Amino acid sequence: MTTLLINTIYRATEGEGVQLGSPQVFVRFQGCAIGCVNCDSKETWDFDASKGLELAEVVKKVDELAHEGRWPLRRVSITGGDPLHPQHVPGLMALIIDLKLKGYWINLEAAGSRIVEEAFKASDFISFDFKTPSTGVRTSLELLARFIRDFGHKGQIKAVIADNADFGAAFEARRQIEEQVGPHPIPWVLTPAFSPGEKMPLKRFQEVMKLNEDWGAPFRVIGQQHKWLYGVDAKNV
Ligand code: SF4
């Protein structure tokens, strides 16, 4: 029996990044030790044993949700928490393999703190975070360069931008990595940050777009559509 720690499984439309607008089933793992100060999913941090679900239950729930509409969904996004934490990896691999055998397309959300080769190889798309200064967490540029070299053909890099310092850090990281690996086609996506209590960061969004235009447009600026539509505190949407 394989037990996975799961925060929630739900059906919704992707609200951010280059897959924006794609309906899918989300499997959100419970447990993350990374500690971003601006995390909007702190309820996923505890490795809470009461959140254990058997693999078969997880796959059954995904199937049920995928078949709720007139025509089944074929996309699954695995997120967290941190689905790549070593404690999760055996369950994660079993889940990916089962879902792939059923014909699902798998998006894996990676926090940018580690590359798990077997999980990355088995997934169809990987979203890899570059942690900006406002997160209080640092992403290794060596790791990022390795991700781009080995998996850049099926991924994106996402960075949350709260201010000019965040934009500058993302710009400098991209520049340094380009020196190492050469021009790379992988999209770098900037997500303008929400501050606590903020409804819609229009001014920050405009500022990030302006910075990107001024600095030669190395990025795509894509906001969090689900927060505009359902509110900043809404979950599972
Ligand atoms: S990696 Fe994700 S879940 Fe973990 S602290 Fe950072 S934003 Fe929150």
**Which atom of ligand 1 is least distant from the CA of 113?**
1
DSSP character at residue 157: E
Q: Cα of 33 to ligand 1 centre, how many Å? A: 8
Of residues 17, 21, 28, the one with CA closest to residue 79: 28
Question: 138 CA to middle of ligand 1, Å?
Answer: 12
69 CA to centre of ligand 1 in angstroms: 31
**Mean pLDDT, residues 63-79:** 97
CB 191 within 8 A of CB 225: no
What is the SS3 assignment for 12? strand
The residue contributing the CA closest to ligand 1 atom 7 is 39
Q: What is the whole-number distance in angstroms between the Cα of residue 85 and the centre of ligand 1?
A: 11
Q: Take residue 129 and report the two structure tokens written for it.
A: 């975070």
Is 5 within 8 Å of 29 (Cβ atoms)?
Answer: yes
Q: Which pTM does this prediction carry?
A: 0.96
Q: Whose CA is nearest to atom 6 of ligand 1?
A: 36
Residue 167 pLDDT: 98
The pLDDT value recorded for residue 228 is: 86
Structure token pair of residue 196: 């606590």
Query: Cα–Cα distance between 34 and 81 in angstroms, integer?
Result: 9
pLDDT in tens, 174-233: 999 999 888 888 999 999 998 767 778 899 999 999 999 999 999 999 999 998 888 888
Q: How far is the CA of 80 from the centre of ligand 1 (A)?
A: 7
3-state secondary structure of 10: strand
Measured at the alpha carbon of residue 105, what is the angle toward residues 100 and 110, in degrees to the nearest 5? 95
Query: Which ligand 1 atom lies nearest to the CA of residue 137?
Result: 6
Q: State the distance from the centre of ligand 1 to the C-alpha of 103, rounded, in angstroms.
A: 28
Ligand 1 atom, smallest distance to 81 CA: 3
Q: Is-contact 171 204, C-beta < 8 A?
A: no
pLDDT digits (tens, 9 = 90+) for 48-57: 999 999 999 9
Residues with CB under 6 A from ligand 1: 32, 34-36, 39, 41, 44, 80-82, 111
Q: Which neighbouring-strand residues pair with 23?
A: 13
Residue 33 predicted with pLDDT over 80: yes
What are the pLDDT digits (tens) for 88-146? Answer: 999 999 999 999 999 999 999 999 999 999 999 999 999 999 999 999 999 999 999 99
Q: Whose CA is nearest to atom 3 of ligand 1?
A: 81
Ligand 1 center to 62 CA (angstroms): 23
Assess whether pLDDT exceeds 70 at residue 13: yes
What is the Rg, in whole angstroms, of the alpha carbon atoms belonging to the chain?
A: 17
Q: Count Cβ atoms within 10 A of the Cβ of residue 185 and give its class: 0-12 exposed, 13-18 middle, 19 or more buried.
A: exposed
pLDDT in tens, 150-161: 999 999 999 999
> Where does the chain show beta strands of DSSP type E?
3-13, 23-29, 52-54, 75-79, 105-110, 125-129, 155-161, 188-192, 220-221
Per the document, the length of the chain is 237
